[in-house]
Structure 1
């Protein structure tokens, strides 16, 4: 069993969409997935994209993904790395794929002088929380994440 982590490429768009759908099903939010292969090709691999992907393969077959981008900390005056989504297929869980992708992202953050590596997790996702705590990550309990989306976002922007 050989796990490899590589930079995602445009040809991975369909596999990434499959992982996104599987993740949405796991998070009980499949109905929220509006992404298409073409949208992923453009938004992750397009000329002006700020988003990147890692693909984890087992023996050459994709088994997981990490979607990430650089963020910014005004207090540190440095970039950070924000992990938008991390997903490993159920059959590959327990092989270290998630931890391997987290480690590669940490390396990317260090290589790029980032002051932080951050992500969010659903409060009920105990398996993921156990992995994150096992690598030394700490929850940011004093912060509450807010979101504008859909019609609320459009309405606020126009008003």
Structure 2
């Protein structure tokens, strides 16, 4: 197995979980915030993770696009005080996932070992590979918070939905 395979599978699994976390979520609940309305909303979280997916594409020398900038910026501004076109944001997520799939599939060992100057990650991240590992973990962390929001809003348990999807 090459170095990129487990990274690619992590991003694929994160995408699978993202779909389960959001496919039945209402627009109203997508902007709802925990912790007395001071925490992150699902909309904000998806926008944040879209930014990381854009960075992933950039790190792997993929095509740069400004066309998602407004949708992501609007999502990051959706603090629960206004409705937001959540389905359009999920379309952005899906397109970015396709782009991440492409660049990860084409990644070489040389690219993975490239030292990066200013990653959107903690200081210990030095190479493209380090960043990809961090981004995969970071996505999973945020998906856990999204599952907590779903639970607080009485949506079906994420773990049950995952198990049901495996039975299909």
| Fold shared by both chains (TM-score > 0.5) | no
Greater relative contact order (Cα 8 A, min sep 6): structure 1 or 2? 2
In terms of fraction of residues, the more helix-rich structure is 2
Q: Structure 1 length as normaliser, TM-score?
A: 0.29
Q: Structure 2 length as normaliser, TM-score?
A: 0.28
In terms of fraction of residues, the more strand-rich structure is 1
